[in-house]
Amino acid sequence: MSAPAPDSRPDVPAGQEGRRGRETRLLLATIAISVAVLVLLARFRFPDQVDPVENPAPAPLERLAARATYDELAAIMADLERRLAPRLVVVQVQPDRPGGQYAIAARMTPNRAVVHLAPHETLGQSHAGYLPILGRDKTLDIAVLSVPEAADATVTPATTPVRPGPRYLAVVEANPQGPVIRPVYAGRTDLLQDPRTSSPLLSIAALQQALPRGAAVFTLNGNFLGLAADGGASATVIPADVLLAAAESARTVEETRGDIGVDVQPLTPGLSRATGAERGVVVSYVHRGGPAAGLLDTGDVILSVGGTAVSTPADFQQVVQSRSPGSQTAVGVMRRGKQIEVPITVRDATSAPQPSPQEDDPGLVMRFVPDLGVEIVSVRPGSAAARADLAAGDIILRLNGVAAPTPSALLNAYRQLPAQGALLLAVQRGADHRAVALER
Amino acid sequence: MALQGLRRTISLFRTRAALGLSPAMAPIVLYVPLGMLLGPMGAGILSPRILGHLDAVISIALATLGLFIGIAAATQGGERKRLLVASSAEAAVTMTVVAGAIFFLLGTWGIPLSLEPRIVAVALGVCAAASAAPPITAGDEQARRIAARVADLDDVLPILAGAFVVATLSSVGMPALLGVLAPIGIGLALAAAGWLLFEHSEGAERGVYVLGIIALLGGCAAYLSVSPLLAGMAAGWLWALTSGHTDAVVRRELRKVQHPLILLLLIAAGASLEVSTAGIWLFAPYVVFRVAGKLMGGWFASRMAPGVAPSDLGAYLVSPGVIGIAFALNLDQVTPGMAPLVFAVSIGAVASEIVAVIVVPPRPQPQPA
């Protein structure tokens, strides 16, 4: 709206002309000052809540740098997690103790992984099932495990020596749900000569976050530095080349597989009803002079070994083999409807007297035919069965006068034969029936 | 030269003293700092717990202020409509200038506030739009009398806008439009009830009724988290328009509590101040752009109502009065995070009072006989 000229406003009281001029000048001055103040104030930035610690970097650059570092680290961790997960195995340690621990096993070769394991420690299940211990190095507290074959799933050992100085490392810890990766800032890394190894150990000091013992340590490139030998704010890492050498020489250096001297068979529904056990494996044979001799009996149902439940013969073998020879393990047994716990001292499977095939194996592969007996699936040439003229397809109807025998009953009866002893079998071949002597 | 400047400054103080409001003794200049001294930042006599108890009294004081504005808006003399339009235009210009400048600066500065910048900018614009003309005396010129009427009328639009801001920020969850209509409804309903009571009572009994209705106005508005200023203004407007002398009765009864309530409001505002970096940053532009907005708004209003509003109207309206502080306290009651705004408005009001000493046109010297 345009203002009328002062002269055209007769209602303006006399003496106000000066005021109008003053007010207009004041208004113009105010507008000018306001615009100037607005432009001036717009040049300022509200101070950020900055860390009181002085930093020579300008605040905006510092924030940008920090954000970029964390974003970059997060991306690296996500990439490493994807790449390393198939190369690592989480295994349970000390499963018979409440709140069992977990450890990371790094796949050094396609079928062997290395885990940090103290001599007194035992292994339980892993995500890949029970992993037999192929060897242990008791000076470095490591164990070599047999893992399912995976050609492209081995870790890549770091070959170049680690330079000293601060750095970020990727640390993988064991979690019941799987491996967990996180970045850890190390204030200093040094190489440390150790008489136990040919290669120097890696000493990490001034860690931002404590390392758990046995954690796998990687560079941000994904190269495997080694396993943490001890935990805390400073740690020693057993280098990857030492672990690789241990994995490759495990069988030649040390072969320690646990054994309690029993054979087992699956718990069938009929055996389940007969024994009263709902799960477990049935003892089909107890080796004479073995650790279980006199403690376990044929027909016992093994429910657990060292606190680890077993359901199949494969489970049983793997759990027993993972026990340290010489250690005592509690075997949970169902015997005549009662649960008991039997302490058995584990022996080394390699040092156990191996029965010769001629002594304990009639050379038969059999399957059970309910209400009928045992059907022979195959016969090993030159075996006792071949000598008795048994052939694939034959059905053993009776064993020493007992109708419808089971394969394990036949095997047990054969193994318990004295030298030069023989079993009397009633065999059906097609429509023919005949009696056969299976001699030991 | 220096002596001449000193004389000029002293003459300014004399001018204010002649109005009965020497700068050092203006209510805001005196009682807001006094509240700071008594509050948690000072002696701690008015602790946060006591201030919490005073919330209800502050709501009643806000309703009382709204009541006076409503009565004044409805009982203006000649040219009331033209003056109301001009006053509203002046308030709108001031709100726009302050809110626009603050919004621009908030975007540039990056001040971390718990409320959205546009809400803070509008709230500061509403607080800045209110004004209080210098008191008039029997011998005052026409321009000063008109300015006093404009100062009453230019609070109407900010009270409506303030009610909208309160409704937007209210945690009760009612729609904003309902948040504006609710205090109007409360004010009209209680005013109707009060009118029936006042007409059939007299003496001390009527005084009790008046105070009771005012307490109900403030209490209901506070309970519903709506603007007590708008509730009071609606009630005052209805009382002024109804037959009889209700408005005069109410004004007479409230005169007994008016000054203590305003005093309490200012002291509570001072005690509620929290010095913050954000508040300090908002304070200076609030003062500068409020003065600019008032001068621009006054210039615009005088052109809208030529012959009625004085051409230098804006200069008379620089004095902020207590309404701006009342707005800020009301917003602080409704939502947390208003501490920087309360600080900027309260300290800005003190600073504006001092600026008004320089800007308000001096009274013409009496002609020698």
> pLDDT for B108-154, tens place per residue?
887 777 778 888 899 999 999 988 866 666 666 777 778 888 888 88
Token pair recorded at residue A438: 């299976």
- A4 contacts on B by Cβ (under 8 Å): 306
Question: What is the distance in angstroms between the Cα of A11 and the nearest Cα belonging to chain B?
Answer: 6
Q: Maximum distance among all alpha carbons in chain A?
A: 149
Looking at residue B364, what is its pLDDT? 64
Residues of A (9-38) whose Cβ lies below 8 Å from B: 9, 11-13, 15-16, 19-20, 22-24, 26-27, 30-31, 33-34, 37-38
* pTM for this prediction: 0.49
Amino acid at B99: A
Amino acid at B231: A
**pLDDT for residue B325 is more than 70:** yes
Q: CB contacts < 8 Å between A and B, how many?
A: 89
Q: Do A37 and B285 touch (CB under 8 A)?
A: yes
Which residue does chain A place closest to B104, by CA atoms?
A42
Cα angle at B144 between B141 and B150, to 5 degrees?
Answer: 145
Looking at residue A333, what is its pLDDT? 92
B291 touching A, CB under 8 A? yes
Residue A165 to residue A158: CA distance in whole angstroms: 17
Q: HSE on the CB side for B325, CA within 13 Å?
A: 33
- Compute the average pLDDT of residues A302-324: 82
If you write DSSP's letter for every residue of A213-271 in order, what string do you get? TT-EEE-TTS-EEEEESS-BSSEEEEEHHHHHHHHHTHHHH----EE-SEEEEE--HHH
Per residue in A393-410, pLDDT (tens digit) is 899 999 888 888 988 888
Looking at residue A56, what is its pLDDT? 45
Bigger pLDDT: B324 or A94?
Answer: B324
Residue B341 to residue B352: CA distance in whole angstroms: 15
- A22 contacts on B by Cβ (under 8 Å): 312, 361
Token pair recorded at residue B288: 């500068």
User: Do A376 and A366 form a contact (C-beta atoms < 8 A)?
Assistant: yes
Looking at residue B234, what is its pLDDT? 94
Per-residue pLDDT band at A381 (split at 50, 70, 90): confident
B299 touching A, CB under 8 A? yes
Looking at residue B103, what is its pLDDT? 92
Amino acid at B110: G
Token pair recorded at residue A271: 């055996």
- Compute the average pLDDT of residues A308-322: 80
- Compute the average pLDDT of residues A106-116: 89
Q: Do A34 and B101 touch (CB under 8 A)?
A: yes
The closest alpha carbon to A155, from A217, A66, A93, A91, belongs to A217
**pLDDT for residue A377 is more than 50:** yes
Which of B286, B299, B303, B317 is the best residue to mutate to test the A interface, defined by the most A CB atoms within 10 Å of its own CB? B299
**pLDDT for residue A13 is more than 60:** no
Of B110, B291, B295, the CB nearest to A45: B110
**pLDDT for residue B258 is more than 90:** no
Structure-token match 């008594």, residue found: B38
- A42 contacts on B by Cβ (under 8 Å): 104-105, 108
Question: What is the distance in angstroms between the Cα of A163 and the nearest Cα belonging to chain B?
Answer: 44
Bigger pLDDT: B36 or B361?
Answer: B36
Looking at residue B365, what is its pLDDT? 62
* DSSP β-ladder status, A308-309 and A112-116: unpaired
Most confident among B114-123, B287-296, B330-339 (mean pLDDT): B287-296
Per-residue pLDDT band at A69 (split at 50, 70, 90): low
Dihedral of alpha carbons B358, B361, B363, B368, sign: positive
User: Do A396 and A374 form a contact (C-beta atoms < 8 A)?
Assistant: yes
Residue B318 to residue B90: CA distance in whole angstroms: 12
Looking at residue A127, what is its pLDDT? 67
Looking at residue B189, what is its pLDDT? 94
Looking at residue B4, what is its pLDDT? 57
**pLDDT for residue A272 is more than 80:** yes
Dihedral of alpha carbons A268, A269, A274, A279, sign: positive
Which residue does chain B place closest to A39, by CA atoms?
B105
**pLDDT for residue B286 is more than 90:** yes
Which residue does chain B place closest to A1, by CA atoms?
B303
Residue B302 to residue B281: CA distance in whole angstroms: 32
Per-residue pLDDT band at A51 (split at 50, 70, 90): very low
Which of B94, B295, B302 is the best residue to mutate to test the A interface, defined by the most A CB atoms within 10 Å of its own CB? B295
Helix (H) or strand (E) holding B333: helix B323-334
Looking at residue A70, what is its pLDDT? 67
- List C-alpha distances in Å: B108 to A44, A87, A95, B344: 8, 52, 62, 18
Question: What is the distance in angstroms between the Cα of A54 and the nearest Cα belonging to chain B?
Answer: 21
pLDDT > 70 fraction of chain B, expressed in percent and rounded? 84
- B303 contacts on A by Cβ (under 8 Å): 1-3
Looking at residue B125, what is its pLDDT? 93
Looking at residue B344, what is its pLDDT? 92
SS3 label, residue B18: helix
pLDDT > 90 fraction of chain B, expressed in percent and rounded? 24
Q: HSE on the CB side for B179, CA within 13 Å?
A: 23
